[in-house]
Amino acid sequence: MPHRPWKILKLQWQRQHSKMTKTNLMAKRIPTVLGVLILLGGLVTGVILVNSRQGLLIKAGPTEAPKNVKISNKGSNTFTVSWTTDTPVTGFIKYSENPAKITTPAGDIRDQISGSSQGFTNHYVSVTGLNPEKTNYFLIGSGSASYDNTGKPFEIRTGPQVIPPAEDMINGKVVGADGNSVTNAIVYVEVEGAETLSTMTKTDGTWRLNLALARDS
């Protein structure tokens, strides 16, 4: 009878386990119920928070949010900010040397020419008249909302004042797949060892840039 003692032990363990289960059932029920209530409470809170976040995003207009933000044409007293949006909206920036008081506006270069705000999907703002070797802070106004750089203002430092070298011009033309000229396209020129330069195409798709304005970091 080699297996009989094992069977007896098994039956005894089952009886003891059954008694322990009955004894602890009520003790475990209250914490379990509380745990379920806590989980439900957390679930409701999570749904409220998610809905609130979605409401904020909808209010800010997700299609207006700036994408592909790029700083170019950095000099001793100037810089350019460009970005894109999903839908045509107005675009501008506000800048200042004081990060706590960013109030000076600068509009899209096309709005500056026309004298009125227009909606675009590509945005191009050039700032001039800055002080050399100063850090400037800016926020992007895109559509109906203002945007920073993940919780803090964007920033850019101007370079020292230098004597401009002789011009070194390059030019080109942008055409679409249909062969027609592309107006108001943003052209970026990457110069080895230097900061990015940029410009916009004219109505005939042509563009022109002075490489002598490129500076190293």
97-125 pLDDT, tens digit each = 999 999 999 999 999 989 899 999 999 99
On the question of pLDDT at 196 being above 90, the answer is: yes
pTM: 0.70
**CA-wise closest residue to 82 among 191, 176, 197:** 197
Main-chain phi, psi angles of 22, to 5 degrees: -65, -40
Q: Where are the domains of the chain?
A: 17-60, 62-161, 163-217
CA dist 121 and 85 (Å) reads 5
CATH 2.60.40.380 fits 62-161, yes or no: yes
Longest CA–CA separation in the chain, Å: 107
Per-residue confidence (pLDDT) for residue 132, from 0 to 100 = 97
Per-residue confidence (pLDDT) for residue 168, from 0 to 100 = 94
- Which residues lie below 8 Å from residue 181, measured CB to CB, with a gap of 6+? 173, 174, 175, 201, 203, 204, 205, 206
